[in-house]
Amino acid sequence: MTVTLLGSPAIGDFDGIDLDMLIRQGFRPVPVDRIRTLASEVLGIDLIPGEVAPASVPGSHVEVAVPLPDGPAIRHYSLLAGAANRLRVAVLRERHGRGASAWLHENLDSCTSLLIRGPRDTFGYGGTGPAYFVAGGIGITPLTAMISAAASSGRDWHLLYVGRQQESMAFADDLVTEFDSSRVTVHITEAAGRPDVVSAVEDWASSRNEPTTVFTCGPVPLMRALEVGFEQHPSISVISEAFDEDNEAGASTQVGSGLSSAASSVSRSDSATNGATGTESVGIDEAFIVELGDGSEVEVPSECTIIDALNRAGVHTLSSCQKGTCGTCETAILDGRADHRDSVLSDEEHAAQETMMICVSRACGKRIALDL
């Protein structure tokens, strides 16, 4: 059965059962206002929420449901700096992705609306001291809103924007025009090779008298160089957010000693298993039972995730990264305790035992009841 909602192929292409599941889990149809080409292989999408666009922290993202042959694909797209009452995102066509970005590039012209959920923040922009932004390719998208916030607040900041070719770098010309080259450095690797990002940050931060926070998003090698380079630095901290295939934003990682909280000097994936903070992590994959909201039960074998067990039992669920980094599969706990293994929820949220990521986390004990 196919359900048509608002006359949009993006929604009408979902199976009726999948559409019902998406609506129940908070997705809503949002009209597409404008589509434009931002750079080679990068489309900009303007969405108009039915109500006033909810306020979001700079670096926040929305989840977009895409109808693929194997079922709904949930992808996370960072919100760009933009006008009020608009949700603006950019989608890079990933030639070696999992199909969602290709579907959007090929079908957006016929879409009157998209199913979205959010906004949600997993990046963690904050602070008032000097900020150095490092973007690699499409990783510029969450940083645009952060840069706008920094400029508006009078914060001392600089951007290093790295890309292979000028024509593939969305926003490069606009950012230089708006803030000039004293604030924005555009580095073209095809002409100048790979930049020494650690030295670039050190050179800029050395003239500041306050701890500097680096906000970075882009290819893993770029972010990893910064994380390793400043892991033990006394005054430079790094907050990074990875992009998965199909331009999907994941959880952030924080390293360095310049952050105000001592707990922030380790990544969330490390702190998620720290029993001293109240988080339980058994680390042993034993079989257990998941009780669903209607009272039915699904057995989760030792070698199986909750999501896989539910899928085998014909229970529809939402997931995306399958690694505990995106938050799409967050599910309310009705009874029992979770063995949290995600890097999305904070230590406090782990200890509260209100929700869990069912793609990686398991039950503490033989039974857990979930709102499914």
pLDDT tens for 194-223 read 999 999 999 999 999 999 999 999 998 999
Cα torsion 25, 26, 32, 34: sign: negative
| Tokens 């079908």 -> residue | 107
What pLDDT was estimated at residue 283? 55
User: Shortest CA distance to 350 belongs to which of 284, 285, 280, 283?
Assistant: 280
pLDDT for position 261: 27
User: How is the chain split into domains, by residue range?
Assistant: 9-120, 131-266, 277-370
CATH of domain 9-120: 2.40.30.10
First to last CA, the chain: 22
CB 133 within 8 A of CB 143: yes
What single-letter DSSP state applies at residue 79? P
Q: What is the pLDDT of residues 105-119, one digit of tens each?
A: 998 888 888 999 889
Non-local (6+) Cβ contacts of 73 within 8 A are 65, 66, 67, 98, 99, 100, 103, 246, 320
- Sort residue 53 into left (φ over 0), alpha (ψ -120 to 50) or beta: beta
One-letter amino acid identity for 35? I
DSSP 58: T
**CATH architecture of the domain covering 131-266:** 3-Layer(aba) Sandwich (3.40)
pLDDT of 133 reads 98
Which positions of the chain have pLDDT values less than 50?
Answer: 1-7, 257-280
**CA 217, CA 199: separation in Å to the nearest integer?**
17
Dist CA 147 CA 178 (whole Å): 11
309 neighbors 329 (Cβ within 8 angstroms):
no
Q: What is the pLDDT of residue 132?
A: 98
Query: Is 28 exposed, middle or buried, given 0-12, 13-18 or 19+ CB atoms closer than 10 A?
Result: middle
- For the domain covering 277-370, report its CATH number: 3.10.20.30
SS3 content of the chain, % helix, strand, coil (to 5): 25, 30, 40
Locate all alpha helices (DSSP H) within the chain, ordered by sequence: 9-12, 16-24, 100-107, 140-153, 172-179, 189-192, 197-205, 220-229, 268-271, 306-312, 347-352
pLDDT of residue 81: 87
Task: Write down the pLDDT at residue 1.
Answer: 30
